Amino acid sequence: MPHTTILVIEDEPLLRMSVTDNLQDAGFHVLEASNADEALALLESHASIGSIFTDIDMPGELDGLMLAWIVRDRWPPIEIIITSGHRRVNVADMPERPLFFPKPLRAQTDR
């Protein structure tokens, strides 16, 4: 079972709950934030965070892409997953070692 804590950053409450539920069902410990400022506060106070899952378009001064660059700079070992339903992102616009998933997200099931 995974022991990684994943921080989910998504401003849409239903999407955030859905992603969180899927990750918890997979055995991950999950923290939630609705914007980049909340995410940075959690990152500063939880050394157990090993990955972030962030939407790009969020309210506030920082979007998910800017947050990803900050995370890569301040917490280099943290894995970064970026998602958006509004745009595709060029690899050059993302920090090193990202994963990108377009929305709508689909949970994979074993059949």
pLDDT digits (tens, 9 = 90+) for 28-43: 999 999 999 999 999 9
Q: What is the pLDDT of residue 39?
A: 98
Please list, in sequence order, all residues whose beta carbon lies within 8 angstroms of the beta carbon of residue 110, skipping any fewer than 6 positions away.
Answer: none
Q: What is the pLDDT of residue 97?
A: 85
Query: What is the Cα–Cα distance from 61 to 71, expressed in whole angstroms?
Result: 15
> Shortest CA distance to 69 belongs to which of 41, 47, 100, 96?
96
Whether pLDDT at 3 is above 70: no
Output the pTM of the full model: 0.87
Cis peptide before 102, with omega less than 30 degrees from 0? no
